[in-house]
Amino acid sequence: MRILAIETSCDETSAAVVVDGRRALSNVVSSSQELHQRFGGIVPEVASRKQVELIGPVVLQALEQAGVGWEDIEAVAVTNRPGLIGSLVVGLCAAKAIAWALGVPLVGVNHLEGHMAANFLEEQPPELPAVVLVVSGGHTDLALMHALDNYELLGRTRDDAAGEAFDKAARILGLGYPGGPAIDRIAAQGNRAAVDFPRALLPDSWDFSFSGPKTALARYLRDTPPERRPALADLAASFQEALVEVLVTKSLLACERLGVDRLMVAGGVAVNSRLRGLLAERAQAEGVQVRIPPAVLCTDNAAMIGAAAYPRLARGDYDDLHLDAYASTHRPH
Ligand code: KG4
Ligand code: ZN
């Protein structure tokens, strides 16, 4: 089944053609990130206006790169929650129009489930059950996955998402937006043990909390005169270490406690080189098999939305043209 998938929940406009939820024939991603850089964060109105400009060309490019025509599209999948409402609506309207014009089924996808499905865009789909860690700008979720469309949410962040913490710390450090890649880059040269930022392990819960290290960083800079501070790279590396250590420790603890020896990671923060490094090290020591998709499938993209929609499409569980967009995860019934 050839699925045209569309993702416009934030500042990326993306379209992909995905076969059987497994093989991406194309995955075009266009970002309005640089427009937001001078504001130090995403400006929703700017993002949705850019979505309107980009959605048409991006969909056409996805068809062209896949080498298919409209007549080859058998279903349309679209992110309809959660996200910036103005951005979501652009992709949703395009998806509905295409599904209606072609007379093919439409399925609305939860963005978080899209990230979880990124690891399935492989010749060899992951074996299940597996623990899944989704770490993005909007989410830090730990789940136990039994099937692509059957998972239990174990825990989530109680305050900032991991990517949000990276972005806020980068802003405090004057490293610009988006902060995750900037911190990752500069931290590579830094001393991870220069400053001991707090690690909130919340031992009785699978939840996370990342506002502590961010506040600690702001206080540290306020209370430490410049001449007594370590280099910027050391600060970035120490901050990154506090976040990464919590993510790795809790994910592997979940594997151990639940008796599962497979871990999947997804979302923009899964690109982080220290997260990948520490996870590889500790997981090997504990006999846990780790899967992380290539970078393009970690950050927002439409191919993962096509992968997530496939089980529903395969069993004929479609949405109709009343499908709506929701800013938050929970879809009212
Ligand atoms: O999944 P994503 O593209 O969008 C959301 O659904 O939020 O994730 C974006 C987040 C941003 O917070 C960004 O700073 C973070 O992922 N990110 C990184 C890295 N690359 C992107 N965080 C840490 N290290 C990176 N290399
Ligand atoms: Zn995302």
Domain boundaries, the chain: 2-117+298-314, 127-292
Cβ-contact 165, 150 below 8 angstroms: no
What's the rounded mean pLDDT across residues 189-198?
A: 96
In whole angstroms, give the CA distance from residue 303 to residue 18: 6
Helices and strands in the chain, H and E counts:
11, 10
Residues touching ligand 1 (Cβ under 6 Å) are: 10, 136-138, 163-164, 166-167, 178-181, 184, 267-269, 271-272, 299-300
Region for residue 319 given its phi and psi (left: phi exceeds 0; alpha: psi -120 to 50; beta: otherwise): beta
Ligand 1 centroid to Cα of residue 271, in Å, is 7
| Domain 127-292 class, CATH top level | alpha beta
Q: Which CATH class is domain 2-117+298-314?
A: alpha beta
Atom of ligand 1 nearest to the CA of 185: 26
**Residue 248: pLDDT over 70:** yes
Question: Would you call 330 helix, strand, or coil by DSSP?
Answer: coil
Pick the most confident of 43-47, 268-272, 329-333.
268-272
Q: Is the pLDDT at 112 greater than 50, yes or no? A: yes
pLDDT at 143: 97
H-run or E-run covering 164:
helix 162-172
pLDDT band at 109, cuts 50/70/90? very high
Do the domains at 2-117+298-314 and 127-292 have one common CATH topology? Answer: yes
pLDDT value for 245: 98
* Closest listed residue to residue 288, CA positions, set 244, 242, 241, 249: 249
Six token digits for residue 301: 């993209």
For residue 27, what pLDDT is reported? 98
Tell me the percentage of the chain whose pLDDT exceeds 90. Answer: 89
For residue 300, the CA-to-ligand 2 centroid distance in Å is 5
